[in-house]
Structure 1
Amino acid sequence: MGVSILFSDSLLEYTPTPDPDPLTVSDQDPARLDITVGTRGGGSAYCKSIAVRIRIGDGADALTANRAQLTSAGPSGWTARPGYADGVWQVFEFVPARPVLFNGQSVTVTVSQIAVNAVPGNAEIEIVEEASPTDGSYTPKTVRATVAKFPAQFVFRNFRPTKVMVGNGEKAVLKWDGSADAQYTMFWDRTSRDVSSVREWPTPEPLTAPTGFMLQAKVTSGGQTLTHTLTTVVMVERPDLDVAALQVWGSADFRGDVSGLMELPPARPFHELVLAGTKQYAFTAAASGLVLLRVAGTLNQGWHANSEVLGPTYAKAAIWNDGAASQFRTATALCPIWKGTRVTLSVSGSSGIADGRAEFWWIPFGKVASPVA
């Protein structure tokens, strides 16, 4: 995403996500900024209020010049107070009915109807929390961040593998859509490579284990560097294991001597949701592992769809069509979950999406074939 946290001394953790992502300047459709609030590093904290401060103006460091159009919304049980001006900032306060204990869960606050101004750059936002570790002595703490605004014609989307899962020892092929005037760098396995000259890239070496890939786009505009990243994962059937330490609490089966390959269940889709309106599926995780969500469908002009995993952490994959004709779109995201936690899978978006679906794939930390008991 195109969001950078510059400074934070907060007790809670904040993940701002613009929609659309990335933002482009002078978009005719208003944008939205979702901020997911959760605990930092597995700790806990009480929260009395959260204020989101949006910088107003026509320049590169401001998000919008139209403060009057901005609106806000909070989660159930919270009051989203009307925005007010504070110099160059428009401030939106979100207040729960009583101080809320964050202890693993997360909520989302939203500022919407953002008419992104016409100057590319890194727009400033601030998040001010009133939080306490003990439900007392609430102290304001500030998170400073920037949201990248890209040039109007910038495109960077649909980063995906041609095959979600490959055989052990098989190369993967990754594709994406991207503007010609950006620099693209692929990161994987502590390695990076410049891929600016291509939009379809085979891995240099065969894969032997599930591998995450991060593709970073950089654009320079007005002396500022704008960065946006997309991620995906390629799973491997019967992967190799290379671990420093291993504890087995149950039974373990080895095919061959102890130096051989431990057989793990292959990754497989454990649930699907059709892209037609809003749907949810909730369960308590039977094991720890990774959920890979993949959303895909053929969209008419102006249609969109989102797929989300919400648990101890959060991941979202979104597709949309801003072109003039029907287009196939796909997106992926990765979300870790832990045994015993409550997990919700959901989809939302335009109805009538041809061949639209969200697939949820399971990458176990162990030998549990599905996260659903």
Structure 2
Amino acid sequence: MTMTMLAYTVLTDPAPLEASADGRSPSMGTVYLVVTNTRKAVDWSTIEVKVPVGKGAGDLTQNIGTITAKGEYTDTQSGTQPVTQSVKVRRQGNVFQATPQTGRRARFEPGDYMVLTLENVTVAPTAGLAVLTVTETIRANTGWQINDAAVPLVKTAPKEIPAPRDFRPDKAMLDDGDKLTLSWEGSADFEYKILYPGAPQPVPVTGRTWSPTVAPKRATTYILIATSGTTPKQEHFLTTTVQVRNPILESLTATTGIDTPWVQGTANATKGRVTFTGTGVEITGNSGGQGTVTADKADLNGVNTTWVQGRNADDGWISFPQDGLRVHQNGRDESGNVSAHGGHIDVVHAQRIHGQDPSDGWISFWQHGLRVHRDGQKIFGAVTLSKVDLRR
């Protein structure tokens, strides 16, 4: 049996090669054929590498045209430092032939080595053992020889696509006007979609980043859906939540209460504020001063206030001094009128009492008693009685 004069070893990147699979990107790799001389110096003219082409278990690739080849010879003996020079490599069909760069033949010294590299190999879709056939043309003591060697390499079954990971927002807390960008790590063999509240169906995504056309107005959870094109399909779900510093809610229902120091109107409103204190609430306007409460009716156990006025600025008003109450008119401090159907009063202090019409009579009070006037003037009037019972 004829032995080759040179030794041949195959290495691959990745190691081992992974067979291609339907529904995902082709599996690519690089094959390195390392040629070494472990015996004595020989001359060589060609080294050919035959690649099995097809889809089967014994084939390396089904597309020989994607492969690019190169060769390098390293001289480790001639000088103090190894010297590497190029080797000519050309393809004929499915055979790659290496020839010396310096001429028709070259010396291959013991300890020297050559590396033939096949790059961009599209790996065949069936796992198995592929065998490269190496043919060397070598000059030995008996003359030129042509020797063959079989160099095997393994293609493993394709592994499951790694699950996507690190689904994250660029900002965990958004302010008004901020743009949101979501990103993740994952294989290009997945089809990606994002689902979020308000979207009727998942939104298709290209690349590994995505931004909503409208930034969220409140805390929102986004779901990343990754689906493979393989059979059976792989499907993964990842979630991430974005918080909004000043959320906008359509409605809010709290079943056990709301704890907050204050409540304020929106930016488009007047920004009146209700503040919760230890004794109740305080109402302030948009300037920070005391504000106004508008209601149809109030049912209160008590009211503490310095004054009460009608809704218009020139309406009458009531103030509450220490000795009782005072009625004012026209929104000013001048005394006003009280109109009532009846009243029950223990004591009445008044300068005079007048009828309801301006021309009615009236009674004034002086230190000796009372005076009766008529026609709304100071002219003395009459008193009409059915009976008088005077006692001294």
TM over 0.5: no
Structure having the higher strand fraction is 1
Q: Which has the higher contact order (CA 8 A, sep 6+)?
A: 1
- Which one has a bigger Cα radius of gyration? 2
